[in-house]
Amino acid sequence: MSDLGEVCEPLRAKRSGGRGARVALRAAPLSEAMRPIRPGMPGGQYRPLTDAGMARIHQAALQALEEIGLSQAPPSGVAVMTAAGAVLGDDGRLRFPRALVEDMLAVAARDITLYARDPRHDMHLSGSKVHYGTAGAAVHIVDPFTLEYRDSTAQDLYDAARLVDNLDNIHFYQRTMVCRDVVDNRDMDLNTLYGCLAGTVKHVGTSFSDPSHVADCFDMLYMVAGGEEKWLERPFVSNSNCFVVPPMKFAEESCITMEDCIRRAMPMLLLSAGQAGATAPAPIALTIVQAVAECLAGVVYANAIKKGAPCIFGTWPFVSDLRTGAMSGGSAEQALLTAGCAQMHRFYDLPGGAASGISDSKLPDMQAGWEQAITNTLAGLAGLNLCYEAVGMHASLLGFCLESLVLGDDLLGQAMRCVRGIDVTEDSTSIEAMKEVCLGGPGHYLGSDQTLRLMQTEYTYPMVGNRMSPKEWNEAGKPQLLDKAVERKNAILAKAGCRVAPEIDAAIRAKYRIHFQ
């Protein structure tokens, strides 16, 4: 309590200055320990699946692996998995005996850390600790003023990374869009990786379009890390790997990439992205069964290559609007799917990630707000370790909006406050503060020591969200939310420089064709 008193005592003296002083108080920087919300707060309060339901999904997934199996594994994958105990049928499908799955679950990595180049942003994935971040492969940038969609570029990806680096409630940056101005696929993979690394020192996720590009990308990684040994000490990039093509097929090139990355100690997001009613079954529960089965096959695969390889259980099923077949990432069904997957991650006690925060709306409007808020909040309350695609994604992942990224930082702050929940302690339920106010006191709590002490540690405040009264709003010139987002976006980009040392940046640009400034 002494630290708290040292912080709050001088601030109480300022309160006589009125509203301006209170605004300054809220804007004052807090130590990490005093922040009301922070990365890795535990969720798990929301449980759409019962214990019996989770057990039934598990048994159905084991049955699917044993009886249906997966097809189209590359020869290298067939060799490593059959050596571990998988069975290759005459039909070319690999089937997985229950005992094999259980053995691989027993050696699978748990309580892993996804490192960042700045250790302050390391993410410790255990239990129900929640982190929000980006992801996706949008092919367009959304302009919320002209209402136009244009091709996304390497500069856009770099700018998004710089914004994430300066937005407290976005905890990691997985590539958000395709660099459509980079024609050569190898150059695109290199620019995608470097755009992320140059923009942020938070943990980065990327993908590779071809296995032959992995070596060059690791060469770049070693340059940024300061050598291979430094990389191996703290691997700060994970590979988002769609190793399966639902339903129940391996993706050969992605599998080869995965094998290479695992051997190079890169953490792996084992990503199964079926779409309910299209490439996954229509029932929500059975969609989860298929996603779990596919990811369990990934657990076998990865651990057959290297026992204890750091992997994220990436059950990532999407929803279809069954009237049209179109993706419906902002739906209530999507929120339930993601929350149910989070429970299955905890059922296996494996680090897990899934999609949350996708909007089907084309713009950062009210529809986007409710879709992102519902899916992100339920994902956090369900204890999802890594909430991917949490901000910025529109048009069912086809569009990305920089202004929406800034707005999403406020939204995620509110979602994480819900995850934190209500602190019920002896101090927080003591009626002494009530006595002071009600028995001879001022009759309100506005100036009480308790209120001032808790205003920063118990409450979160939006950076661009508007809480003015109508009178204040009118006197301020009727500011619009989107205008405030643009203002904050421009302020961040004006001061956010490259996060790679100048001499390394120059060396990388001399060696590779980098398409952003």
Is position 51 within any domain?
A: no
Q: Check residue 319 and report its DSSP letter.
A: E
- Residue 229's Cβ-count burial label (10 Å; 0-12, 13-18, 19+) is exposed
| CA separation for the pair 295, 344 (Å, rounded) | 11
Residue 215 lies in domain? 106-421+503-511
Task: With a cut of 90, say whether residue 4 has pLDDT above it.
Answer: no
Identify the pLDDT of residue 182: 98
The count of structural domains within the chain is 1
| CA separation for the pair 454, 495 (Å, rounded) | 32
Is position 463 within any domain?
A: no
Identify the pLDDT of residue 22: 58
- Taking CA atoms, 161 is separated from 26, 264, 330, 496, in Å, by 27, 25, 23, 10
Is position 264 within any domain?
A: yes
Weakest-pLDDT range from 1-15, 163-177, 452-466, 499-513: 1-15
Identify the pLDDT of residue 13: 37
| CA separation for the pair 142, 179 (Å, rounded) | 14
Is position 64 within any domain?
A: no
pTM over 0.85? The answer is yes
pLDDT greater at residue 19 or residue 323: 323
pLDDT confidence tier of residue 26, bands split at 50, 70 and 90: low
Identify the pLDDT of residue 27: 58
pLDDT confidence tier of residue 456, bands split at 50, 70 and 90: confident
Q: Tell me the three-class secondary structure of 362-426, residue by residue.
A: CCCCHHHHHHHHHHHHHHHHCCCCEEECCCCEEHHHCEECHHHHHHHHHHHHHHHHHHHCCCCCC
- Taking CA atoms, 158 is separated from 200, 327, 488, 493, in Å, by 9, 27, 17, 10
Q: Tell me the three-class secondary structure of 33-62, residue by residue.
A: HHCCCCCCEECCCCCCCCHHHHHHHHHHHH
- Per the listing, tokens 């609007």 go with 321
What average pLDDT does the segment 269-289 reach? 96
pLDDT digits (tens, 9 = 90+) for 384-401: 999 999 999 999 999 999
What average pLDDT does the segment 52-63 reach? 98
| CA separation for the pair 125, 111 (Å, rounded) | 5
Look up residue 44 and give its amino acid.
G
| CA separation for the pair 356, 372 (Å, rounded) | 7
pLDDT confidence tier of residue 2, bands split at 50, 70 and 90: very low
Identify the pLDDT of residue 137: 95
Identify the pLDDT of residue 447: 86
- Per the listing, tokens 């009727």 go with 478
Identify the pLDDT of residue 18: 57
pLDDT confidence tier of residue 207, bands split at 50, 70 and 90: very high
Q: Report the run of H or E that residue 254 belongs to, with start and end.
A: helix 252-263
Q: What percent of the chain has pLDDT over 90?
A: 90
Identify the pLDDT of residue 1: 33
Q: Check residue 70 and report its DSSP letter.
A: B
Task: With a cut of 50, say whether residue 7 has pLDDT above it.
Answer: no
pLDDT confidence tier of residue 33, bands split at 50, 70 and 90: confident
Identify the pLDDT of residue 268: 98
What average pLDDT does the segment 336-346 reach? 98
Identify the pLDDT of residue 12: 36
CATH code of residue 406? 3.20.20.480
Is position 347 within any domain?
A: yes
Is position 206 within any domain?
A: yes
Residue 68, sorted as left (phi over 0), alpha (psi -120 to 50) or beta, turns out to be: alpha
Weakest-pLDDT range from 1-15, 304-318, 426-440, 469-483: 1-15
Q: What is the DSSP string of 126-143?
A: -TTEEEEB----B-EEEE
| CA separation for the pair 404, 394 (Å, rounded) | 9
Interacting residues of 101 by C-beta distance below 8 A, sequence separation 6+? 62, 65, 296, 299, 300
Identify the pLDDT of residue 32: 75
CB 355 within 8 A of CB 329: yes
Q: Please tell me whether residue 272 adopts helix, strand or coil conformation.
A: strand
Is position 190 within any domain?
A: yes
Instruction: Tell me how long the chain is.
Output: 517
CB 131 within 8 A of CB 387: yes
Q: What percent of the chain has pLDDT over 70?
A: 94
pLDDT confidence tier of residue 187, bands split at 50, 70 and 90: very high
pLDDT confidence tier of residue 24, bands split at 50, 70 and 90: low
Q: Give the CA count within 13 Å in the CB-facing half-sphere of 200.
A: 35
| CA separation for the pair 340, 57 (Å, rounded) | 10
Q: Which of 390, 388, 346, 386 is nearest to 371 (CA)?
A: 390
- Residue 69's Cβ-count burial label (10 Å; 0-12, 13-18, 19+) is buried
- Report the chain's mean pLDDT, rounded to a whole number: 94
Identify the pLDDT of residue 174: 98
Q: Angle between the 214-225 and 185-199 helix axes, to the nearest 10 degrees?
A: 20
pLDDT digits (tens, 9 = 90+) for 74-117: 999 999 999 999 999 999 999 999 999 999 999 999 999 999 99
CB 144 within 8 A of CB 403: yes
Task: With a cut of 50, say whether residue 230 has pLDDT above it.
Answer: yes
Is position 291 within any domain?
A: yes
CB 130 within 8 A of CB 384: yes
Task: With a cut of 80, say whether residue 499 has pLDDT above it.
Answer: yes
pLDDT digits (tens, 9 = 90+) for 139-185: 999 999 999 999 999 999 999 999 999 999 999 999 999 999 999 99
Interacting residues of 199 by C-beta distance below 8 A, sequence separation 6+? 157, 158, 159, 160, 161, 162, 164, 165, 173, 496, 498, 499
